[in-house]
A and B are shown apart, each in its own frame.
Chain A
Amino acid sequence: MNRSVLVVAKWEFFRFFKWRDQLIGVLTLLVTSALAFAAVTFAQSSNEVNLAVVGFNETLKLSEKSRIKVRSSTETVKQLRLQLADQSLDGILLIGERVNNDPELDVELIVRRQPSWVGEIQQTMNELKSSRAMAKASMVPEVLQQIFSPQGIKVTTTMPNGVSLADRIVAIGMGGFMMVVNFLGLSFFMIGVTGEKQQRITEQIVSAISPQSWIDGKLIGLTGASFASVATMLVGGLAIFGIFWLAGYGVSFPDSLTRWDLLPLLAILFLGGAVFWNCFFAAVSSIINDPNTSAKSGLLFMPMLPIAAGFLAIPQPDGIAMRLLSILPGTSSTAMPIRLLLGNVAWWELALCLLLLIGGILILRLAAGRIFAAGIMLYGKEPTWIEVLRWAMKG
């Protein structure tokens, strides 16, 4: 690798990845999350509901964390309505027994306006009615619980790490990760190649270094910038995760995220996929003069199709379609990580996937360099597809 490639890579990386901006982004995310969390906690703790129960001597069983504070009242409804009016009371619950020891009660809730906590009262009254009905039928609660409890099914997986819902979420997350990396790569190359072409920067640079060195530097720098940006987002996400963990919300890492043996392989697949598609972006963005009017702009969204296909294949990770997608260079960066997590990958499939990915990158890099060299010098007129193909084949 010649020195000019590294010079370009460093320049392009820091053009798009600004430490200060990234840090501000993460801090903003953290502060916003912390404020939202604090606001919700404060709202829940300060919003105590005072409810007066009239005509019922038993204690209503509300959950321990309920913000509804119940007191039995002997005051008249008229007096309680006055308290409701001056907001020292939030609701009056009138409960009346029916004849013949009917488990159904006559219940009326008097409030100033429709409350958000009515569901909790509904649930409490449902439970009260059930227990009264059971008592009337001389039934113990354990029997009723047995009647309504579902039949348990023990699921035994043959793979070392079973596929849990958490694993599926992680698989979707990885697909999302590649989508974000690809979108960032796409936007960076549109600015970094088409934008430079529009700003007429290209000729002077190509007089100093070869187009292949320039595109190689851009590939390294812009791929690095897109990964670094996504990594910063992940750090922010982990920090939010940490806030919830510290607050005792009982969140925990999915097992698949702690499979350290897979991490190097996933990193290679992600990086390879990003470089592969960035080669494609470099070639296409160099033949576009104006993304707003060019018919070729639609082509830049092509890398999103295999990612979408990967998502669809999650239910059948070892199906024919998914096996094919996990081997082809354009889609393997999304499909193979999903299969590694959710499916059963043969060693030869993995070897073929890596071989094709590396080969694909080398071929696409060369073709992209040739298209880039010709495309960046072409102003005003966009080349035809035949011309682009000829450049890619012969330079």
Chain B
Amino acid sequence: MIDSSPLVAAHGVGKSFGSVRAVDQISFEVQPQQIFSLLGPNGAGKSTLVRMLIGMLPPDEGTFSWRDNGRSNIPLDRSLIGYLPEDRGLYKDQLVAATLEYFAALRGLNRADSRRVAQMWMERLGLTQYAKSKLETLSKGNQQKVQIATAVLHRPAFVVLDEPFSGLDPINQELMVNLIRELRSEGATILLSAHQLNLIERLADHILIIAKGREVLSGTLAEIFRGPYGGKTLRIEFEQPVDEALLAEIQADKDIRELRLEQPNLIALHFTKNHNQLEWLNRLHEWGPIWTFQSSAASLHEIYLKVANDAEPFPAVSDSLNGSPASF
């Protein structure tokens, strides 16, 4: 019988700093070997939630329950966790190999094993030639590789990666994507927090979006794409500027979740359900000649923007920019 209980579960956890409510009644479950993505705007409470999850901060209320080797509700075991924090750095005046060996030793490996895993990770990440180099002499990308190696070299069951792609060029981002997939295929469960939503879309099995410390959206990728924030977008470029009367007419239709005036002659219609887009094209063509049109499914990026805006409306300055959500 397959044990399907989660590796870790949060039950109504909350945390306040003075009068600031950083995390408010959040619950979730992370299944074994899942890539669980935690998203949210800056200051949403992601880092606080992660710090509570891995035992660096005690929650004010709620609990976390862990499972390991079939045992449930066990206390947090640091050796199970590999953590790449958002605020990160290394001993810049130390050698790459020595740094990796030190972190391996901190994780409980003996001297011989520390050397072996340090060597293995340097080979895996293409750092062997820098083994005797000081970290400060490495490029930012290579420093980032060393940093992630220090987080996972003890083969943790649960890997927490907070902004693993920041500072990486596209090639190294791809390398990181592959590494995350490899870690999962090797048996690790991954909690991933990042702002590169195109990469999250490729990696995540489950997404939890929080804002102002609260959960605002949660589900698998398929559930999210099919949910109220998913749907399709039809962009229509007219040969002439769109008038207010047409915009009001479109806005009145209950199947149109959102209307965006992206250019004076370009509108984007966001449908919440499987709507017949050809009907809308014919209807709009009657209003005026159409120059181009394009139909696409909502990306995670678009969904995220909508969710985040609903939870916390964007600052007024963005209203004056082209392409921002129109308020009708």
Chain A residues near B (Cβ < 8 Å): 3-4, 7-8, 11, 15, 196, 199-201, 203-210, 377, 379
Residue of B nearest to A11 (CB): B102
B92 CB within 8 Å of chain A: yes
Contact count A vs B, C-beta below 8 Å: 58
Contact A203 B150 (CB under 8 A): no
- Residues of B with C-beta under 8 A to A209: 78, 106
The proximity string for B residues 101-120 relative to A, scoring 1 for CB distances below 8 Å and 0 otherwise, is: 01101111000000000000
- Give the distance in Å from the alpha carbon of A21 to the alpha carbon of B150 in the complex: 28
Residue of B nearest to A191 (CB): B93
Contact A7 B106 (CB under 8 A): yes
Contact of B90 among A11, A199, A208, A379 (CB under 8 A): A199
Contact B81 A200 (CB under 8 A): no
Residue of A nearest to B93 (CB): A15
Contact B105 A204 (CB under 8 A): no
B122 CB within 8 Å of chain A: no
- Residues of A with C-beta under 8 A to B89: 196, 199-201
Contact of A379 among B87, B106, B150, B151 (CB under 8 A): B87
B71 CB within 8 Å of chain A: no
Contact B91 A8 (CB under 8 A): no
Contact B78 A204 (CB under 8 A): no
Contact A203 B102 (CB under 8 A): no
Give 6 closest A-B pairs by Cβ, nearest first.
A200-B89, A207-B83, A203-B85, A199-B89, A200-B87, A7-B105
Chain B interfacial residues counted at CB < 8 A: 25
Contact B78 A208 (CB under 8 A): yes
Given A7-B105, A7-B106, A207 and B56 touching (CB < 8 A)?
yes
- Give the distance in Å from the alpha carbon of A203 to the alpha carbon of B147 in the complex: 12
Contact of A7 among B87, B94, B102 (CB under 8 A): B102
Given A208-B78, A377-B56, A203 and B106 touching (CB < 8 A)?
no
Residue of B nearest to A7 (CB): B105
- Residues of A with C-beta under 8 A to B103: 204, 208
Contact of A207 among B81, B90, B108, B147 (CB under 8 A): B81
Can you list 20 pairs linking A and B with CB atoms under 8 Å apart?
A: A3-B108, A4-B106, A7-B102, A7-B105, A7-B106, A8-B106, A11-B102, A15-B94, A200-B89, A201-B90, A201-B91, A203-B51, A204-B103, A204-B151, A206-B56, A207-B56, A207-B78, A207-B83, A207-B85, A209-B106
Shortest Cβ gap from A81 to chain B (Å): 67
Q: A204-B84, A205-B106 are in contact. List 20 more A-B contacts (CB 8 A).
A: A3-B108, A4-B106, A7-B105, A8-B106, A15-B91, A196-B89, A199-B89, A200-B85, A203-B51, A203-B83, A203-B85, A203-B87, A203-B88, A206-B56, A207-B54, A207-B56, A207-B78, A207-B83, A208-B83, A210-B78
- Residues of A with C-beta under 8 A to B78: 207-210
Shortest Cβ gap from A372 to chain B (Å): 13
Shortest Cβ gap from B23 to chain A (Å): 15
Contact A200 B106 (CB under 8 A): no
Contact A204 B108 (CB under 8 A): no
Shortest Cβ gap from B152 to chain A (Å): 11
- Give the distance in Å from the alpha carbon of A189 to the alpha carbon of B57 in the complex: 24
Contact B85 A204 (CB under 8 A): yes
Residue of B nearest to A8 (CB): B106
- Residues of B with C-beta under 8 A to A207: 54, 56, 78, 81, 83, 85
- Residues of B with C-beta under 8 A to A199: 89-92
- Residues of A with C-beta under 8 A to B56: 203, 206-207, 377
- Give the distance in Å from the alpha carbon of A208 to the alpha carbon of B54 in the complex: 10
**B179-228: which residues lie under 8 A (CB-CB) from chain A?**
none
Shortest Cβ gap from A347 to chain B (Å): 44
